């Protein structure tokens, strides 16, 4: 006899109102609950809350809804201090007290493991999230889109799921130096009547203002992303930035004429000051050029890299691979405890910075190459150089399949996986755990007030 499907096929209609209890937070910081077995995502709702919602989007497997009324509030709900929090969408968790954010982030990691792996999670060592003492004003880089309202230049982020630009004169998760730099550059562009880019009409020049501060030295870099190479009143812009913002040590123009959501184009020109700024972490200083990747929260970066050091357990003789090495930060952090470090990255400027950083500190046991880890590592192995420890710090998309294959063939004793996306970490662990065992996972909060969570995993050969 055919088993009858008892699942109720409830159709939620757009605009329908219904009560729901929130069970957990989703990966984007939204509340997750169930209405007649259909999963419902509710931005702004918190675990444990009973809310009345209105359905806004209906998909085959889930629905999205907005809060109409909170019947039972979470004891961890707080008033978000940012005046444009609801509009902006840059942060997702300002309405949740910080100590609880840390618990929820550990849970987001566990959810990803439940969804994407068959690991016995209850037997795993998943540690409490390492947080910040002061979870505000921490971001060392802002990338604000530029627009115009009533003849005035604005700069900020696009509102959640829309193309409406929200002006952000003072972001409370950004370092004050980046807020100031963007504000003053906006004034200068206004004063000099520099045309801003209009995406619809494909007219104007300035697309984005990027400001980065080296927190250890106070040096600031300003990058103007332009739609064309010709920048009107270029010399005047540079002179005004240098006059009004003496802390700016590097002024760069980057040209991006493509219709794309990517911020940076391929061509950069040095307009004023130095090519890069100097950052200091612990005892090591780093050259940061405009396109080189560097962690956005220096205070937590020290904690993160110390966790990498703990997980690597180096004794002074190991051959270490630093894949996706950027400006060499992780490798240089560990160099005094390793036999040799080899790093690679696809961004040429990052590798140039890594080499400069190593040379400046007299660190001689490092070697860097431009290219993909999955291409370079097999070449080294073929030449007889086999790593003992592999450190991967991939982008949000996770490790390339070819790199995972290469890692599996190396028989390295240990992998230290630094992840910024629990979902892709979980998927990559599916591959790695065929040959390796996850010893422990240490979540680290690099982005307070947002749903992002980083994690350092120690993975050892079975």
Q: Are 397 and 404 in contact (CB under 8 A)?
A: no
Quick check: helix, strand or coil at residue 335?
A: helix
414 CB-near residues (< 8 Å, 6+ apart): 311, 312, 313, 388, 389, 390, 458, 459, 460, 461
Sign of CA dihedral 133, 130, 98, 215: positive
Instruction: Transcribe 408-429 into DSSP letters.
Output: HHHT-SEEEEEES-HHHHHHHH
Give me the residue label for tokens 């990559």.
428
Q: Which of 82, 171, 325, 420 is catalytic?
A: 420
Tally Cβ neighbours within 10 Å of residue 449.
25
The pair phi, psi for residue 77, each rounded to 5°, is -75, 135
Q: Are 46 and 22 in contact (CB under 8 A)?
A: yes
- Known active-site residue 399: no
150 CB-near residues (< 8 Å, 6+ apart): none
Q: Long-range contacts of range 166-171, CB-CB < 8 Å, 24 or more positions apart? A: 166/84, 166/87, 166/88, 168/84, 168/88, 168/90, 168/144, 171/82, 171/90, 171/139, 171/142
Give me the residue label for tokens 């390339």.
400
> How far does the chain reach from its first CA to its final CA, in angstroms?
46
Return the active site residues: 420
């Amino acid at each position: 006899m055919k088993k009858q499907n008892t699942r109720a096929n409830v159709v939620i209609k757009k605009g329908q109102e219904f009560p729901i209890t929130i069970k957990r937070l989703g990966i984007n910081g939204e509340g997750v609950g169930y209405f007649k077995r259909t999963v419902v995502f509710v931005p702004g709702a918190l675990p444990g809350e009973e809310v009345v919602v209105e359905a806004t989007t209906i998909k085959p497997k889930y629905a999205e809804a907005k809060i109409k009324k909170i019947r039972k509030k979470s004891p961890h709900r707080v008033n978000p201090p940012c005046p444009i929090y609801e509009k902006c969408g840059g942060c997702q968790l300002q309405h949740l007290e910080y100590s609880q954010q840390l618990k929820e982030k550990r849970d987001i990691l566990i959810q990803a493991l439940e969804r994407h792996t068959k690991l016995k999670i209850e037997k795993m060592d998943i540690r409490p999230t390492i947080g910040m003492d002061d979870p505000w004003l921490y971001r060392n880089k802002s990338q604000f889109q530029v627009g115009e309202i009533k003849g005035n230049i604005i700069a900020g982020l696009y509102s959640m799921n829309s193309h409406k630009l929200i002006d952000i004169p003072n972001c409370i998760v950004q370092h004050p130096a980046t807020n100031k730099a963007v504000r003053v550059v906006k004034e200068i562009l206004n004063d000099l009547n520099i045309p801003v880019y209009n995406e619809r009409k494909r007219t104007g020049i300035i697309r984005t203002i990027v400001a980065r501060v080296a927190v250890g030295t106070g040096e600031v870099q300003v990058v103007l992303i332009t739609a064309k190479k010709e920048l009107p009143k270029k010399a005047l812009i540079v002179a005004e930035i240098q006059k009004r913002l003496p802390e700016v040590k590097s002024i760069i123009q980057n040209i991006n004429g493509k219709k794309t959501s990517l911020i940076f184009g391929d061509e950069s020109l040095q307009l004023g000051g130095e090519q890069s700024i100097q950052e200091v972490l612990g005892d090591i200083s780093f050259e940061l050029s405009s396109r080189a990747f560097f962690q956005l929260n220096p205070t937590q970066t020290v904690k993160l890299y110390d966790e990498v050091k703990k997980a690597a357990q180096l004794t002074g003789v190991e051959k270490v691979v630093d894949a996706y090495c950027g400006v060499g930060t992780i490798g240089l952090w560990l160099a005094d405890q390793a036999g040799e470090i080899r790093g690679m990255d696809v961004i040429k400027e990052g590798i140039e910075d890594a080499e400069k950083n190593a040379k400046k500190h007299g660190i001689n046991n490092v070697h860097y190459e431009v290219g993909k880890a999955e291409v370079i590592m097999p070449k080294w192995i073929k030449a007889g150089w086999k790593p003992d420890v592999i450190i991967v710090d991939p982008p949000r998309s996770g490790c390339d399949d070819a790199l995972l294959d290469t890692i599996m063939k190396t028989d390295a004793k240990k992998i230290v996986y630094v992840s910024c996306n629990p979902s892709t970490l979980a998927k990559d662990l599916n591959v790695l755990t065929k040959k390796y065992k996850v010893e422990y996972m240490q979540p680290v909060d690099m982005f307070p007030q947002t749903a992002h969570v980083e994690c350092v995993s120690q993975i050892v050969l079975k």
